Amino acid sequence: MLMVSGKAALMVIDVQEKLLSAIHDSERLSARIQWLISACDTLNTPVLFTEQYPKGLGHTLPALTRLVEQPEVVEKMHFSVVAANCLPTHWQDYSQVIVCGMETHVCVLQTVLELVKAGKEVFVVADAVGSRSEENRQLGLDRMRDAGAHIVSREMVIFELMQQAGTEQFKTISKQFLRGEQP
């Protein structure tokens, strides 16, 4: 199944100030998530930010939320966004959820498993998720794939959402996100 513009939305899970420094290869992960958010915003794909216990872990990195004109942020105490019951009502309209963030084997995993169980098509962006160890990141990805989630890359996301070349949207994306060295 392909990701389809209008059916898909991007969920950025728990990329928070106090947690990021503990994540393996955190600078690269942050840069990749910024790239993905910017590309999705350019493609008019809705973006939701989640925050796990922000009083203790801080808020979403400002470098991420400022990439979206009107960032939508939800707070949670459960590891899973679904279990926290904090998804905005209009998110029920999206049959496809693209997921990035951290930690892959905890909040991302539990959210993805419950989204799949709820009947959503879930696309986990492998090069835009992170954990404190690479081993836990890979175990989380493996488990999500085994549960029916699609494991994809950032470029897969943007090419599937665009669907074709030769458009103004393609030209913009190509210039901004596909030239030169990428994070």
Residues with catalytic function: 14, 76, 107
Cα(93)–Cα(6) distance, rounded to whole angstroms?
9
The amino acid occupying position 64 is L
Q: How many CA atoms lie within 13 A of 18 on its CB side?
A: 9
The amino acid occupying position 101 is G
Q: Which residues have CB under 8 Å from 75's CB, separation 6+? A: 50, 51, 53, 54, 86
- Contact call for residues 8 and 161 (beta carbons, < 8 A): yes
